[in-house]
Amino acid sequence: MYDLLQKYFGYTSFYPLQEDIIKEVLAQRDVFVLMPTGSGKSLCYQLPALLFTGVTIVISPLIALMKDQVDGLLANGIPAAYINSSLSYHEVDARRQQLLKNELKILYVAPERLLMSEFLEFLRGLKVCLFAIDESHCISEWGHDFRPEYRQLKVLKEKFPHVPVMALTATATQVVQDDIIRQLNLSRNKVFKASFNRKNLYYQIKPKHDPFHQILQYLNGRRTDSGIIYCQSRKAVETLASGLQAKGYRALPYHAGLTAEVRTEHQERFIRDDVEIIVATIAFGMGIHKPGVRYVIHYDLPKSIEGYYQETGRAGRDGLPGDCVLFFSYADKFKIEHFIQQKEDENERQIAYKQLRELITYCESNVCRRRVLLAYFGEQFEEPNCGGCDVCVEPKERFDGTIAAQKILSCVYRTGERFGINYIVDVLLGARNQKLLQNRHDTLKTYGVGKEYAKVQWQSFIRELIQLGYLKLDGDEYPILKLHEKSRPVLLGDEKVSLIKPAEKIPVQKAERSDNYDHTLFERLRALRKTLADQEGVPPYIIFHDTSLKEMTVSYPQSLLDLRKISGVGDQKLVKYGKAFVEEIVNYCEENNIMPRQFCQPSAEFSAKQQKISTIQLTFDLYKQRLTIPEIAQKRGLAVSTIASHLEKLILDGEDISLDDLVTSEKQQQIRKVFAEAGMQTLSPVKEKLGEGYSYEEIRLVRAKVMVER
Ligand code: ADP
Ligand code: ZN
């Protein structure tokens, strides 16, 4: 398992639960995998697929996602394909032929296709070793994305009683979990549930007063970061997207009012890093697995906590920090309530109200955001300070705000409890707006008594008074401020009010965490990655994730062997892209006089890699004593193929290894010839051409030599 993990994925250790889940699958048992976004669910079926003799069928709801996953697998050298309605008859047929010849390890299909009786029959003629049902919450009406065709998947257990089923989802509620297990008829299945805490996400809620400028302020200094901004309406999406474009940001809109072609194009441009920002309604998201999204902004209120968790979950899939910013205003709350009122169905209306209330509580609360979110999913979070939310990290200082509160309450009283927040603030500030003058409110005692604070500050005092129960928002058409029982003693001077102390200036941007990497080199590697990706027509993250690039900018790998130590660099990627990246890094180091500190990253992953290095070193020592491969293998008690792979790595690292000691020159010539015809990416066609007398080890050694020469 570990060998495959390194070879195909470039990782040296598993994420939590992955190993246990894989063992369970290898023992042919059904499993239910409940892990949040970014926790590495795909590996749970992709790795066992490599160990099975037959094919693993992955059922996935979205076509765009399938292509993406298959591209990722192919880039890692794993034979995979997908079948869905986007393919022509001939393309489908070609894949069927591959399946019949058992040439594919993983096949992605959409449920509609899978469920065609003819296709099920076809599958029965193959050796299917596992069904993996991705996004399995789509099966449940209780989930946030019910798809009727998913319901039919229960036939899998009837038609393939002996093939294990793995259901995967990132949806956390208990009702949905039970429903999935029941619907799929999973037997004696084991449930693997990871914590839903997304440690790398930073949650913050900002009072929304001038959202466009607040967003600009936030984006300032994040021009190259990818992000998603969610709005409620199509109109808001369009306006914000063009506003950002006008300010020089590369932003595109995405909503259900655009044609399917335009939507696909915009999504595509986002995942390919042609644009940094997608402004979207919630229609956007399920279809993308872009790992390097650095922030998710809610410009408007989301619909529910569950929705909010899923949407924010799209940030930081790669494990690097992600920001989740929600702009909250009571006016938005009002707007949503207004929508809900118009719903016909009483039951639906009740559910919507409940979801809204829960969300408002989340926004208003002064408790750790993480704790509230996790509690919603039935998980207790006990740490006193999570270190990753505004409540914990930017605790608010309070002051005696009685006078400010009295001014507000009295102003609400004197204007007859008939106006909204902004009007009251205008009165306090002595604004000369027409409506105010018409109402003769410039003659009130409270007119213009609030010049000591800015508009924004008064707005936030009022919001706080609402939260504290001194004021309430009411009204049919638009929100109106009303007094509350609790306001009396304050107005009479019998009760003091403690308010959050005004900040010097409103901090919108938090300091970037984990900033210790070489930004200039990172940008250069990103540019290189983009060029290569465009040449191949794949999204940049298919080549390397940001995580891998960042690691490179920390340890400055100077050779292919160094590069192989980077997480996410498996064999295939090493062969394909290694040289280009090493060259870029070496040049950069030379230009900037950087002396790469060799092993400067003592992580667990890193030391595991170091152990690997010392075993290679042992092989090298024996080679220097002029032992042959079989002799070294015998002496070390390792397989011949392992020793060959050590020598391969040494060659790649530019060590002085003479190929002539290992492969006869005649064979070398022959292998080089076939490389010239068939390429070096995949070795099986090369081996086929060469015939019986040649081993994979020999071919790989020659390939390493050719690469180094190039
Ligand atoms: P999920 O489907 O649960 O959202 P993914 O399968 O997309 O998660 O994986 C999330 C990220 O973690 C990906 O960038 C993936 O390459 C990476 N990853 C998965 N397993 C490991 C591992 N064992 N070591 C390092 N990175 C991993
Ligand atoms: Zn917290």
Residue-level pLDDT at 376: 87
User: In terms of domains, do 188 and 210 share one?
Assistant: no
User: Where a domain ends, among 500, 528, 551?
Assistant: 500
Residue 511 falls within a domain, yes or no?
no
| Segment 419-431 mean pLDDT | 92
User: In terms of domains, do 528 and 675 share one?
Assistant: no
Q: How many angstroms does the Cα of residue 37 sit away from the middle of ligand 1?
A: 9
User: In terms of domains, do 76 and 167 share one?
Assistant: yes
User: 21 with 300: CB under 8 angstroms?
Assistant: no
User: 139 with 153: CB under 8 angstroms?
Assistant: yes
Residue 640 falls within a domain, yes or no?
yes
> pLDDT class for 614, splitting at 50, 70, 90?
low
User: In terms of domains, do 29 and 127 share one?
Assistant: yes
Residue 598 falls within a domain, yes or no?
no
| Segment 337-352 mean pLDDT | 87
Which ligand sits closest to the CA of 391? 2
- How many whole angstroms from its chain centre is CA 209? 29
CATH classification at residue 467: 1.10.10.10
Q: How many angstroms does the Cα of residue 411 sit away from the middle of ligand 2?
A: 36
Q: How many angstroms does the Cα of residue 519 sit away from the middle of ligand 1?
A: 24
DSSP 16: T
Q: How many angstroms does the Cα of residue 44 sit away from the middle of ligand 1?
A: 10
User: In terms of domains, do 153 and 255 share one?
Assistant: no
Which residue is associated with the tokens 């890692």? 76
Indicate the pairing of strand 398-400 with strand 322-328: unpaired
Distance CA 545, CA 74 (A): 15
Residue 597 falls within a domain, yes or no?
no
CA distance to 405, 425, 448, 464, 500, per residue, from 492 (Å): 12, 21, 21, 20, 22
User: Where a domain ends, among 173, 193, 213?
Assistant: 193
Q: How many residues does the chain have?
A: 710
User: In terms of domains, do 372 and 286 share one?
Assistant: yes
CATH classification at residue 552: 1.10.150.80
User: In terms of domains, do 624 and 687 share one?
Assistant: yes
CA distance to 69, 74, 165, 240, 602, per residue, from 273 (Å): 17, 20, 35, 20, 32
Distance CA 297, CA 278 (A): 10
Domain that holds residue 357: 201-393
Count how many domains the chain has. 5
Ramachandran category for residue 417: left, alpha or beta (phi over 0 → left; psi -120 to 50 → alpha): left
User: In terms of domains, do 181 and 278 share one?
Assistant: no
Q: How many angstroms does the Cα of residue 40 sit away from the middle of ligand 1?
A: 3
Distance CA 499, CA 402 (A): 8
Residue 95 falls within a domain, yes or no?
yes
> pLDDT class for 190, splitting at 50, 70, 90?
confident
Above 80 in pLDDT, residue 600?
A: no
Nearest residue (CA) to ligand 1, atom 25: 11
User: In terms of domains, do 353 and 375 share one?
Assistant: yes
Higher pLDDT, 662 or 18: 18
Residue 514 falls within a domain, yes or no?
no
Which residue is associated with the tokens 């032992």? 627
Q: Is 318 in the pocket of ligand 1 (CB under 6 A)?
A: yes
Q: Is 41 in the pocket of ligand 1 (CB under 6 A)?
A: yes
User: In terms of domains, do 57 and 33 share one?
Assistant: yes
CA distance to 515, 543, 552, 556, per residue, from 600 (Å): 16, 24, 11, 10
Above 80 in pLDDT, residue 457?
A: yes
- What are the residues whose beta carbons fall under 8 Å from the beta carbon of 345, sequence distance 6 or more? none
Q: Is 317 in the pocket of ligand 1 (CB under 6 A)?
A: yes
- The DSSP annotation for 29-70 comes to --EEEE--TTS-TTHHHHHHHHHSSSEEEEE-S-HHHHHHHH
C-beta neighbour count of 298 within 10 angstroms = 25
Q: How many angstroms does the Cα of residue 213 sit away from the middle of ligand 1?
A: 35
Which ligand sits closest to the CA of 45? 1
CATH classification at residue 11: 3.40.50.300
User: 77 with 572: CB under 8 angstroms?
Assistant: yes
User: In terms of domains, do 687 and 661 share one?
Assistant: yes
CA distance to 198, 318, 365, 426, 546, per residue, from 321 (Å): 10, 9, 24, 40, 11
Share of the chain above pLDDT 70, in %: 94
For 51-100, what is each residue's pLDDT tens digit?
A: 999 999 999 987 778 888 999 999 999 999 999 988 999 999 999 999 99
Residue 513 falls within a domain, yes or no?
no
Radius of gyration of the chain (CA): 30
Q: Is 11 in the pocket of ligand 1 (CB under 6 A)?
A: yes
Q: How many angstroms does the Cα of residue 378 sit away from the middle of ligand 2?
A: 17
Indicate the pairing of strand 80-83 with strand 106-109: parallel
Q: Is 40 in the pocket of ligand 1 (CB under 6 A)?
A: yes
User: 42 with 166: CB under 8 angstroms?
Assistant: no
User: 106 with 144: CB under 8 angstroms?
Assistant: no
Sign of CA dihedral 674, 678, 679, 681: negative
Looking at residue 141, its amino acid is: E
| Ligand 1 atom showing the smallest separation from residue 9 Cα | 16
User: Where a domain ends, among 373, 393, 413?
Assistant: 393
Distance CA 27, CA 45 (A): 13
Residue 537 burial by Cβ neighbours in a 10 Å radius (0-12, 13-18, 19+): exposed
| Segment 171-181 mean pLDDT | 82
Nearest residue (CA) to ligand 1, atom 23: 14
For 257-270, what is each residue's pLDDT tens digit?
A: 999 899 989 998 99
Above 90 in pLDDT, residue 627?
A: no
Nearest residue (CA) to ligand 1, atom 10: 38
Indicate the pairing of strand 471-474 with strand 277-280: unpaired
Residue 385 falls within a domain, yes or no?
yes
Q: What are phi and psi of 130, to 5 degrees?
A: -160, 140
| Ligand 1 atom showing the smallest separation from residue 541 Cα | 14
> pLDDT class for 42, splitting at 50, 70, 90?
very high
Coil, helix or strand at residue 381 = coil
User: 466 with 480: CB under 8 angstroms?
Assistant: no
Select from 21, 43, 550 the residue to mutate for testing ligand 1; criterion: most ligand atoms less than 8 Å from CB. 43
Q: Is 42 in the pocket of ligand 1 (CB under 6 A)?
A: yes
CATH classification at residue 644: 1.10.10.1390
- Among 430, 420, 466, 436, smallest CA distance to 450 is for 430
Q: Is 209 in the pocket of ligand 1 (CB under 6 A)?
A: no
Residue-level pLDDT at 143: 66
Distance CA 209, CA 206 (A): 9
Nearest residue (CA) to ligand 1, atom 19: 40
**Could you give the count of Cα atoms lying within 13 Å of 374 in the half-sphere of its Cβ?**
20
User: In terms of domains, do 551 and 668 share one?
Assistant: no
Nearest residue (CA) to ligand 1, atom 17: 40
Distance CA 226, CA 382 (A): 32
